[in-house]
Structure 1
Amino acid sequence: MNLKDSATRVAVLRVLRDIVDAAYEAERRTVLDGLRAARAEFAVKSIRTTLPDHTPIATITLIDPQPAVVVADEDAFTAWVVANHPSEVETLIRVRPAWQRAFLTHLVARDPVADPHTGEVIPGLTAVPASAPRSFSLRLLPGGPEEITQAWRSGRLDLRQLLALDGGEA
């Protein structure tokens, strides 16, 4: 293959990659919305995907964010840390970020937020509920990529249909 042929191939592959990327992102949004709806209606969190001939290829699962503790009042929290954990306060009179992250991860996300050792309510902290799932994981099954490749090469997967733009014919 000469340079001109390679350059043409790069241009075509770039356009095809962009089409595939756009189709992938749109389909990801559709799947995420569908999984959220299935979770709300049927308590379904995970689905198994198959090729048209029912060969299993992957599992798609909602990723549930965890509730978290966040600093709602920096000054009140800093004052509490100064009084209770002075070695964790920097001269700037701020809580060391690494310690704050570690400390917050060990707290129960329930208002009022309390010190797990003393039960004392910690000023300046509040619990925030977990957000709705914003993503999902796709775990290909062993042999899944090979099954997809074989189905594509044999014609069992119609990429024109799979990559149809705007839901119309390709």
Structure 2
Amino acid sequence: MTLKDSAAREAYLKTLLDTVDEAYKAARTEVQEALDAAARETGTRQISVALPNGVEIAKVSLTSGTAETKVVDEEAFKAWVMKHFASEIERQFVATVRPAFAKKVLTELTAAGGTEWADPETGVIHDVPGVASRPARARGHRMTFAETGRDAVMAAWRTGQLAGVALPELTGEPIRCSRCQGEDGPDALCDACARPVP
């Protein structure tokens, strides 16, 4: 393969990759919105995924987001520690809060879900400045493929079963499978692509 051929192949694949990536992100957003709605309305947190011919290929499960308290104003947090816990300040060229103390306070604030921290030695409750609870990971979902799920998807793509479902923009119009040639009929379904056949 020449350099020109290799570069052309890279260009083709990059174009397809970008198209697939954009479609994937849109589909993932759509699934997340539908899962969130299903969880609110019916309590559904998991669904099965199947090919058009009914072969189950994966499960999609709702995951919960997590929150984490972080320092958002270093100076305010440091001033609070200097005032109330001066021994936890490390003096270098600049004064900084000892990492172990910051980690301890932030971990306890995360667990408490707020910005009030109780000094375990004195019992004094401090409203800690310069910190905020922010999502560390957004609520999402995960897809778990069946053992042969990915192979089944690739086979379905090669036979045209997914042409009208996944990325029809790559083909211009739906590809019909070689078994039924896409001839629609009223009675039976093609067992390869699940389309009506004469």
TM-score for both structures, normalised by structure 1: 0.71
1:123-152 deviations in Å (ceiling 9; x for gaps): 325664759945322222322212212222
1:5-61 deviations in Å (ceiling 9; x for gaps): 444433322222222111111111111111121222222233221222332222222
Moved more, 39-48 or 132-141: 132-141
Question: What is the alpha-carbon distance in structure 1 between the residues aligned to residue 99 and residue 47 of structure 2?
Answer: 39
Cα RMSD of the aligned pairs, angstroms, is 3.4
SS of corresponding position for 2:143: strand
1:1-170 residue pairs with structure 2 within 5 A? 4-71=4-71, 74=74, 77-82=77-82, 83-84=84-85, 86=87, 88-91=88-91, 92-97=94-99, 99-101=101-103, 103-107=105-109, 108-111=111-114, 113-115=116-118, 117-118=120-121, 119-124=123-128, 128=133, 133-155=138-160, 157-165=161-169
SS of corresponding position for 2:126: coil
CA contact (8 A) 1:112 1:121 kept: no
CA contact (8 A) 2:60 2:141 kept: yes
Structure 1 or 2: more strand by fraction:
2
Change (3 A) 1:124 1:142: same
Structure 2 unaligned segments of length 5 or more: list them: 175-198
Same amino acid, percent of matched pairs? 34
CA contact (8 A) 1:71 1:77 kept: yes
Residue 195 of structure 2 aligns with which residue? none
SS of corresponding position for 2:142: strand
Q: Which amino acid in the other structure matches residue 144 of structure 2?
A: R
Structure 1 or 2: more helix by fraction:
1
Question: Higher Cα Rg: structure 1 or 2?
Answer: 2
Structure 1 unaligned segments of length 5 or more: list them: none
Question: What is the alpha-carbon distance in structure 1 between the residues aligned to residue 5 and residue 72 of structure 2?
Answer: 59
Q: Which has the higher contact order (CA 8 A, sep 6+)?
A: 1
Question: How big is the shift at 1:4?
Answer: 4.8
Question: What is the alpha-carbon distance in structure 2 between the residues aligned to residue 55 and residue 113 of structure 1?
Answer: 53
SS of corresponding position for 2:165: helix
TM-score for both structures, normalised by structure 2: 0.63
Change (3 A) 1:93 1:4: closer
Q: Which amino acid in the other structure matches residue 58 of structure 1?
A: A
Q: Which amino acid in the other structure matches residue 162 of structure 1?
A: A
Moved more, 43-52 or 102-111: 102-111
Question: What is the alpha-carbon distance in structure 1 between the residues aligned to residue 37 and residue 127 of structure 2?
Answer: 38
CA contact (8 A) 2:57 2:152 kept: yes
Question: What is the alpha-carbon distance in structure 2 between the residues aligned to residue 31 and residue 137 of structure 1?
Answer: 11
Moved more, 37-46 or 95-104: 95-104
Question: How big is the shift at 1:3?
Answer: 5.0
Residue 178 of structure 2 aligns with which residue? none
Q: Which amino acid in the other structure matches residue 15 of structure 1?
A: T
CA contact (8 A) 2:67 2:137 kept: no
